[in-house]
Amino acid sequence: MKIIGLTGGIASGKSTVSKILENLGAVIIDADIIARKIVEKGKPALKDIVAYFGEEVLLENGELNRKKLGSIVFKEPLALKKLNEITHSRIKEEILKEINWYKQYQPNHVIIVDAALLIETNLKDIVEEVWLVVVSEEQQKHRLMERDQLTAKEAEDRITAQMAIGEKLSYAHKLISNQGSYEELEKQVKKIWEMMEKT
Ligand SMILES: CC(C)(COP(=O)(O)OP(=O)(O)OC[C@H]1O[C@@H](n2cnc3c(N)ncnc32)[C@H](O)[C@@H]1O)[C@@H](O)C(=O)NCCC(=O)NCCS
Ligand SMILES: Nc1ncnc2c1ncn2[C@@H]1O[C@H](COP(=O)(O)OP(=O)(O)OP(=O)(O)O)[C@@H](O)[C@H]1O
């Protein structure tokens, strides 16, 4: 079994790359999906969030108001730090659990851990290789504003809340450029996959 960490800035194209890899036969562990699970209603992480941020970050049905919390943390580094303290160890624990499940029941698969914060949270230490999706900041901002209907300022705040791409480069074993078309992306990903299969 091989474990690859797939990372890159927000809206760089990790989920898009994951889909291509899934079609090639990989199994995907998506950190964003896990991050959503650990803050479901009744979970300890949601209780900790409410204790710190107040009931105003809840929807009327008691679920987390993600839009509201996002609007607080991405413009206030101290608030983001607190949210990270509440969530990151729990996200890592779940990712490790999923990896162990695959090790036991589907040991022949390639596992892709898709996580924007793979390097920041030291998840890089549990993967064998880091694949980094790279786009220009202009392209990233454009795709982010369009996908999430954000203003330029909101998109910039989200981008600067993450480690600069230049700093991530030194951890990467493979670079995937997503500056161009989907077809170009698919071609690159297939090539990297085939190279990996040969080693
Ligand atoms: C702040 C929250 C509620 C906003 O939710 P929302 O639905 O708007 O965004 P979503 O969760 O889909 O995240 C979208 C992208 O934002 C970026 N992002 C999310 N959390 C963080 C963070 N703590 N620091 C920097 N970037 C982040 C990532 O690139 C992620 O892919 C949510 O992102 C959250 O709970 N974040 C803390 C957990 C976390 O670190 N998740 C990322 C795991 S890699
Ligand atoms: N090559 C491409 N050409 C055009 N649009 C693209 C391309 N790759 C990705 N996109 C679009 O850009 C947006 C961001 O891509 P994606 O959601 O895969 O990023 P991500 O890195 O997974 O984001 P996040 O960090 O928020 O999870 C999406 O709307 C996606 O459809």
In this predicted model, what pLDDT tens digit does every residue of 17-57 receive, in sequence order?
999 999 999 999 999 999 999 999 999 999 999 999 999 99
pLDDT in tens, 54-87: 999 999 999 999 999 999 999 999 999 999 999 9
Kindly list the domain boundaries of the chain, sorted by start residue. 2-198
Amino acid at the residue 104: Q
pLDDT in tens, 120-165: 999 999 999 999 999 999 999 999 999 999 999 999 999 999 999 9
Band of pLDDT at residue 1, cut at 50, 70 and 90: confident
Q: What gap in Å lies between CA 129 and CA 71, rounded to an integer?
A: 33
Which residues have CB under 6 Å of ligand 2? 8, 10-16, 32, 116, 143, 147, 178, 181-182, 185
Closest ligand by atom to 118 CA: 1
Specify whether the CB–CB gap between 68 and 53 falls below 8 A: no
Q: What is the pLDDT of residue 198?
A: 83
pLDDT score, position 183? 98
Two structure tokens written together for 1: 């079994």
Tell me, what's the ipTM? 0.97
* CATH (one of 3.30.420.10, 3.40.50.10490, 3.40.50.300, 3.40.50.970) for 2-198: 3.40.50.300
pLDDT at 159: 96
For residues 66 and 109, give the distance between their C-alpha atoms in angstroms, rounded to a whole number. Answer: 33
User: To test the ligand 2 pocket, which listed residue (143, 150, 186) has its Cβ within 8 A of the most ligand atoms?
Assistant: 143
With 90 as the cut, is the pLDDT of residue 15 above it?
yes
pTM of the model: 0.97
Q: Among residues 4, 6, 3, which one has the least CA distance to residue 134?
A: 6
